Amino acid sequence: MMQASATAEQDAPSARQQAVLDAVLGLMVEDGEQVTMDAVARRASCSKETLYKWFGDRDGLLTATVRWQASRVHAGHDAAQVLDGATLRERLQDFAVTWLEVITGPTSVALNRIAIAHAGSRKSNLGGIVLANGRFAIGERVKPVLEAGRAAGLLAFADSEAAFRTFFGLVGRDIQIRLLLGETLDLDGAGIRRDAGRAVEQFLAIYGRAKPDPNHQL
């Protein structure tokens, strides 16, 4: 009579529940529109009754799935201290590569499609969860690096949020919207690294200070 629903509570889902959520992700990737309760139950070899006991309703199941996927995207926070130019480039490049790998992945595309379709109606915003764990999470990880770069005199900007948004735009460009709208553009690892490098260089062309220059104004 226990087994709190994994939706309301923030408990990590059990192993069996994780298997169910992975089944949902699999269905989403195959065809976002056929994520029906019957299909999930069949795919996960569980009964619909169990689905409803664990997740409340279909919305709870989708929410739990989004959370579950988000929980394993998070890479480790690593604090960087003093930066030289090469290290800054490297860190930004890493972020750009990671981000591009995420948004071009089929799971991300499927999940964003679901969340966007859901955002049209009011109920329980998957969009907020996706944003919090995607766009905003990466922002909170990049901004300290940018600020460290500024502290080291390598970058010049007033607002780290604005600077990050520019970085975000330079990295992603039109890739995400094109993928979401169904275009199949294949980026291999080399292409992603090339794209990331270009974005970093362009970012430095805008915000870079030529030399470590300890007179930071604004």
Partner DNA sequence: CGAATGCCGTACCGTACCGTACGGTACGCG
Partner DNA sequence: CGCGTACCGTACGGTACGGTACGGCATTCG
Instruction: Name which position in 8, 11, 12, 34 contacts DNA (CB under 7 A).
Output: 34
166 binds, among its own copies, DNA, none (CB under 5 to 8 A by kind): its own copies
Q: Under the criterion CB under 8 A, does residue 210 sit at the interface with its own copies?
A: no
Of residues 11, 141, 7, 27, the one with CA closest to residue 80: 141
What is the Cα Rg of the chain in Å? 20
70 binds, among its own copies, DNA, none (CB under 5 to 8 A by kind): none
In the complex, the smallest distance separating the C-beta of residue 88 from its own copies, rounded to whole angstroms, is 18
φ, ψ at 57 (rounded to 5°): -150, -175
Q: Under the criterion CB under 7 A, does residue 15 sit at the interface with DNA?
A: no
- The helix/strand count (H/E) of the chain reads as 11, 0
Stretch that binds DNA, among 46-54, 96-104, 144-152, 178-186 (CB under 7 A): 46-54
Please tell me the distance from the alpha carbon of residue 17 to that of residue 40, in angstroms, as a whole number. 12
Q: Under the criterion CB under 8 A, does residue 130 sit at the interface with its own copies?
A: yes
Question: Helices 15-30 and 48-55: crossing angle, nearest 10°?
Answer: 110
* Residues 48-67 contacting DNA, CB under 7 A: 48-50, 52-53, 57-59
